[in-house]
Amino acid sequence: MNTQSNVTYQREEDLFFYTPIDLERILQFKSTKIQQLLKQQIIPSVKLGGQYRVSKEQLEE
């Protein structure tokens, strides 16, 4: 039985997500503007538990 996989795993230290509050501080936008950008998917994000999260990698692009 072949158990090898082509899946690439990132190190846990490389996985970092910003919250909308973090984005306010980093981008220096008001919370309403951050929410608007997230909802319009201008800032790529995922929703975890009903809250937006933006990966460090996506924000740097």
Residue 57 has a pLDDT of 86
Of the candidates 60, 57, 46, which has an alpha carbon nearest to the alpha carbon of residue 20? 46
Record the pTM: 0.71
Per-residue pLDDT of the chain (61 residues; tens, 9 = 90+): 445 545 454 555 556 899 999 999 999 999 999 999 999 999 999 998 999 999 988 888 7
Domain boundaries, the chain: 16-60
